[in-house]
Structure 1
Amino acid sequence: MNDAARKLAALAKDQAEQHYREAPNNLEAEQALLGAILVNNDAFYRVSDFLKPVHLYEPLHRRIFEIAGEIIRMGKTANPVTVKTFLKADEKVGDLTVAQYLARLAAEAVSIINAEDYGRAIYDLALRRSLITIGEDMVNIAYDAPLDMPPQSQIEDAERRLFELAETGRYDGGFQSFNDAVALAIDMAGQAFERDGHLSGISTGIHSLDGKMGGLQRSDLIILAGRPGMGKTSLATNIAYNIAAAYEPEVQPDGSFKAKNGGVVGFYSLEMSSEQLATRIISEQTEVSSSKIRRGDISEADFEKLVACSQMMQKVPLYIDQTGGISIAQLAARARRLKRQRGLDVLVVDYIQLMTGSKKSGENRVQEITEITTGLKALGKELNVPIIALSQLSRAVESREDKRPQLSDLRESGSIEQDADVVLFVFREEYYVKNMEPRDEFDPKYEEWKMQMEKVKGTADVIIAKQRHGPTGTVKLAFQSEFTRFSDLADPSFTQYEH
């Protein structure tokens, strides 16, 4: 063979080796774990919480693990004799029969103490194989480029699959003893005791609202609804900024950060641009009217206040996404990314009716809203964060004598009311009373109107119409319209009353 032929043969051999790469696995660890289970069935309970048959690489090992698991769960003993009954007698493992192979696994078994370590090693290798599968799927789909899957939706699908893999990669779940549950409850109460305001959830920064709700509870879907002009965006912005400004990180033993107070906030502003949202927050913080800021009608002292405020606000972990008409899939993908990159404690969506569902829901808007609210509820549970979603109310409110909103006023109400853990309505009587001003100030009704206006001026009601974990009722707040700011009333005796 000449040199050229030799080089070609060597190159072909190298390429063949490169193309054939075995998926990550550890058959010895699988054998050691199965042996430990067959010798002492308690070993199964050390791994059954996180290890499933599908995580084992060798098909025969999967079947042995599955059969042994079923026998043990039935309260019987799994050993080489009982397990071999459920396997094909003529199946061979090299030169050994299945019965001989099971006996060898038991004979060479390691101690039960190492069972969990072997289980974790097997699980981690299964995760790596799943990563390879996701990577190969991404490459193949990108090459084939199906018409019904544009690149953007492929990215979202890959992000979803990776996030699912990352989240299921934690060794938790399953039953807890009541003892553990009690310890967790006491731990939560201890954290609430240490936290500012002694709340079980995340403080909204508005004490009278926290008093009713105990803060924002993790994984809750909180619907904040109101007619246009009531200030629902203002209230959501106030709460979002209060939480972000109060953020105090605490380092965990694994080096990650957890919010001791406040939190990292993601704000989906589908209606307003990020600049408009920032102007509102600056106005609220500096007490300089937002209309004056937009017109540039401000003094030098006001401008210095704005600059000082903006410098302070740069450190606040509030992230704004201003994409209009975002779909629930895109919103979820971006929220997952924010949680992994920066952390995430609260999500705000302004507002539900500006979101889009999938093409599957077609022309039916009610189905589309159902898909959106169900998706938001599932996302809250997946990320373990409260989601504040704003919603419009139907015009039925305007035609009633009593303009206070009710649950039936929610647009496409069925799914919104059903999926929500908390429903809050923002109601400002001042808005309606102001529009009823008599044109003639000498009108006899003018004095009556003036008295009514004095009574409701600068106040707002937040009606808690539904709450899974607490009472319903109404919280009265102060509202400064020029700064779009909600705050606690100065007179605490006037703050709240229950239905």
Structure 2
Amino acid sequence: MAENIRLVAAQDAAEKSLPRNVEAEAALLGALMIDNRIVEDVQLKLRSDHFFEPVHGRIYDAILKLLDRNMVANPVTLRPMMEADESLKELGGPAYLAQLTGNGAALIGARDFATQIYDLALLRELVGVGRELVDKALDTSEDVDPLSQIEAAEVALYRVSEGEGEGGSVKSFLQASTMAVQVAERAFSSGGHLSGITTGLNSVNEKIGGLHNSDLMIVAGRPGMGKTSLATNIAYNAAARYIRDKEDGIDDAKNMGAPVAFFSLEMSADQLATRVLAEQSGISSEALRMGKISRADFANLSRAARELQNLPLFIDDTPGLTIAALRTRARRLKRRHNIGFIVIDYLQLLQGSSRGGDNRVQEISEISRGLKTLAKELNVPVMALSQLSRAVEQREDKRPQLSDLRESGSIEQDADMVMFVFREDYYVAALQPKEPKDTDTDPKIAADYAAWVQKYQDVHGTAELIVGKQRHGSTGRIRLKFEASITKFSDLAPDSYAVSNYD
């Protein structure tokens, strides 16, 4: 009994020692009731749960509700809403509301009071995170995993830094539906097809609506299909569009681009930069690497490099990252550079954080779940590249399908969208028959070669992006143009615009 009394007393003492300024809360509420216009400046940042005194939070909510109905918020109009509040009765009932408006000088510092209330709420959240971290760190049982505790603490700290706190993920249906309408408005304003971040490819935007926040997208394909090229193209297009929209005075809420974080576990940062430079200068990446360029080419290269020097594209080429380390780095980039899109090349090169003994399928499952969690936590689209199994090569039709995703069905399950890159010319080129010579008399050799040439010409320089799964829309195929020399994907002109159709 005595022990329980001591615990309650300790908890009460800890509660009283939390950072707070109840006087500032009272002064702010009084100012809001005197001049309702102040709400416009504070409501975007300040929530009711930021108030230390719960009754102050309820008064703040009541003020917002009245203003949302285009009514005046003052002690008289608030009285019917607060009469039954037991905590308010202890403070004097509705008379307390009138008492709050007694200090007209609070109007001068109202915005400063709101800032202080918000900052103190964050400090209280930090205290909570610290206490929980200490409690868990003192637990030395066998089931303890220090690395998972570190990541959990980092997640909690990130939420505090973003102003979310414990209740940040709970939204009323009004909030959720308002966000849905904003997404629809964004798509309408863009011309009716782009509700997320642009891919830079109109045909892809029309099919998937752009890159949507909190979505995990898998881009899969066999080696040589151009997965990295497509991801690099999209990353560049999103970053470049962000710069253009900024220069046009478009705010971040309506910007169709985003700063990009590119985690390259396979290629180095300079190799990725070479690809982007090749795409923008029109010089083949092979010529760039080997220095086989003219003075004019070098001038184009210098121009492209100058134009791209402020590109918000951040490349992390650290090899052998664990999923926990990647999430840590992503949070840091989000905090420092306001990252709006993340690319991982590629998923199978990530490592799980599970202890030894787990098989690879379980490890990939952990990684795919971790990437989906990251997309939701940071509220950004995450694009992860993935290898496919060799089963594709055993079929006559080489087009990949969901069952070809390598090592784990959880990739298909966790992803909001799965896209496959397929280049038929890659396989047609591998089937080249014998080229006829003057000494050949067999007409079949010439016929086979002519048929192959025609087939190769029909598919050369084209690619398909196959949408195998899409939670927000339909599946299907998108035909694209692919320039292998500069590793660039672009929109393919419709057949109706073919050269043969022009006079």
Residue 321 of structure 2: SS of its match in structure 1?
A: coil
Could you say which residue in structure 1 is the equivalent of 2:337? Answer: 342
Q: Cα offset for 1:270?
A: 0.7
Residue 246 of structure 1: SS of its match in structure 2?
A: helix
Q: What are the residue-to-residue correspondences of 1:133-148 with 2, within 5 Å? A: 134=129
Given the alignment of the two structures, is residue 188 of structure 1 paired with residue 175 of structure 2, yes or no?
A: no
Which residue, out of 201, 220, 223, partners 1:225?
A: 220
Could you say which residue in structure 2 is the equivalent of 1:38? Answer: none
Cα contact 1:280–1:484 (8 A) shared by 2:
yes
Q: Which residue identity lines up with residue 487 of structure 1 in the other structure?
A: S
Q: Cα offset for 1:303?
A: 1.1
Could you say which residue in structure 1 is the equivalent of 2:313? Answer: 318
Q: What are the residue-to-residue correspondences of 1:9-24 with 2, within 5 Å? A: 22-24=17-19
From the superposition, tell whether residues 312 and 373 of structure 1 become closer, same or farther in structure 2 (CA, over 3 Å).
same
Could you say which residue in structure 1 is the equivalent of 2:368? Answer: 373
For residues 342 and 192 of structure 2, what CA distance do their matches in structure 1 show? 21
| TM-score where L is the length of structure 2 | 0.72
Given the alignment of the two structures, is residue 246 of structure 1 paired with residue 241 of structure 2, yes or no?
A: yes
For residues 458 and 134 of structure 1, what CA distance do their matches in structure 2 show? 55
Cα contact 1:57–1:126 (8 A) shared by 2:
no
For residues 139 and 369 of structure 2, what CA distance do their matches in structure 1 show? 32
Could you say which residue in structure 2 is the equivalent of 1:463? Answer: 466
For residues 27 and 288 of structure 2, what CA distance do their matches in structure 1 show? 71
For residues 430 and 408 of structure 2, what CA distance do their matches in structure 1 show? 28
Could you say which residue in structure 2 is the equivalent of 1:10? Answer: none
From the superposition, tell whether residues 102 and 189 of structure 1 become closer, same or farther in structure 2 (CA, over 3 Å).
closer
Could you say which residue in structure 2 is the equivalent of 1:357? Answer: 352
From the superposition, tell whether residues 366 and 278 of structure 1 become closer, same or farther in structure 2 (CA, over 3 Å).
same
For residues 132 and 346 of structure 1, what CA distance do their matches in structure 2 show? 31
| TM-score where L is the length of structure 1 | 0.72
Cα contact 1:250–1:259 (8 A) shared by 2:
no
Name which of structure 1's ranges 128-137 and 449-458 shifts more when overlaid on structure 2: 128-137
From the superposition, tell whether residues 281 and 56 of structure 1 become closer, same or farther in structure 2 (CA, over 3 Å).
same
- Aligned-pair identity in percent equals 49
For residues 141 and 219 of structure 1, what CA distance do their matches in structure 2 show? 29
For residues 138 and 337 of structure 2, what CA distance do their matches in structure 1 show? 32
1:147-193 CA-to-partner distances (Å, cap 9, x unmatched) read 9988x98875554221121331597843244xx76665554343334
Name which of structure 1's ranges 417-426 and 364-373 shifts more when overlaid on structure 2: 364-373
Cα contact 1:50–1:171 (8 A) shared by 2:
no
Cα contact 2:196–2:256 (8 A) shared by 1:
no
Which residue, out of 393, 405, 414, partners 2:388?
A: 393
Cα contact 1:51–1:123 (8 A) shared by 2:
no
Could you say which residue in structure 1 is the equivalent of 2:492? Answer: 489
From the superposition, tell whether residues 419 and 153 of structure 1 become closer, same or farther in structure 2 (CA, over 3 Å).
closer
Could you say which residue in structure 1 is the equivalent of 2:325? Answer: 330
Cα contact 1:236–1:348 (8 A) shared by 2:
yes
Could you say which residue in structure 2 is the equivalent of 1:175? Answer: 172
Could you say which residue in structure 1 is the equivalent of 2:31? Answer: none
Cα contact 1:361–1:368 (8 A) shared by 2:
no
Q: Cα offset for 1:133?
A: 5.2
Residue 260 of structure 1: SS of its match in structure 2?
A: coil
Cα contact 1:476–1:494 (8 A) shared by 2:
no
For residues 312 and 153 of structure 1, what CA distance do their matches in structure 2 show? 42
Could you say which residue in structure 1 is the equivalent of 2:293? Answer: 298
Q: What are the residue-to-residue correspondences of 1:51-450 with 2, within 5 Å? A: 80=86, 103=90, 106=93, 109-110=96-97, 125-132=120-127, 134=129, 158-167=153-162, 168-169=164-165, 173-177=170-174, 184-195=179-190, 198-247=193-242, 248=244, 257-258=252-253, 260-360=255-355, 362-441=357-436, 443=445, 444-450=447-453
Q: Cα offset for 1:262?
A: 1.6
Name which of structure 1's ranges 257-266 and 182-191 shifts more when overlaid on structure 2: 182-191
Q: Which residue identity lines up with residue 357 of structure 1 in the other structure?
A: G
Q: Cα offset for 1:422?
A: 1.0
Structure 2 portions without partners, runs of 5+: 1-15, 29-42, 60-82, 102-109, 499-503
From the superposition, tell whether residues 149 and 173 of structure 1 become closer, same or farther in structure 2 (CA, over 3 Å).
closer
Cα contact 1:269–1:322 (8 A) shared by 2:
yes
Residue 373 of structure 2: SS of its match in structure 1?
A: helix
Could you say which residue in structure 1 is the equivalent of 2:71? Answer: none
For residues 205 and 356 of structure 2, what CA distance do their matches in structure 1 show? 37
Q: Cα offset for 1:241?
A: 0.7
From the superposition, tell whether residues 131 and 79 of structure 1 become closer, same or farther in structure 2 (CA, over 3 Å).
closer
Q: Which residue identity lines up with residue 465 of structure 1 in the other structure?
A: G
Cα contact 1:462–1:477 (8 A) shared by 2:
yes
From the superposition, tell whether residues 259 and 104 of structure 1 become closer, same or farther in structure 2 (CA, over 3 Å).
closer
Residue 479 of structure 1: SS of its match in structure 2?
A: strand
Q: Cα offset for 1:411?
A: 0.9
Name which of structure 1's ranges 185-194 and 197-206 shifts more when overlaid on structure 2: 185-194
Q: How many residues are aligned here?
A: 424
Cα contact 2:423–2:462 (8 A) shared by 1:
yes
Could you say which residue in structure 1 is the equivalent of 2:454? Answer: 451
Structure 1 portions without partners, runs of 5+: 1-20, 34-45, 66-76, 84-100
Q: Cα offset for 1:439?
A: 3.3
1:192-244 CA-to-partner distances (Å, cap 9, x unmatched) read 34337751111111111111111112211111000001111111111111111
Cα contact 1:31–1:105 (8 A) shared by 2:
no
Cα contact 1:51–1:119 (8 A) shared by 2:
no
For residues 169 and 141 of structure 2, what CA distance do their matches in structure 1 show? 37
For residues 196 and 85 of structure 2, what CA distance do their matches in structure 1 show? 49
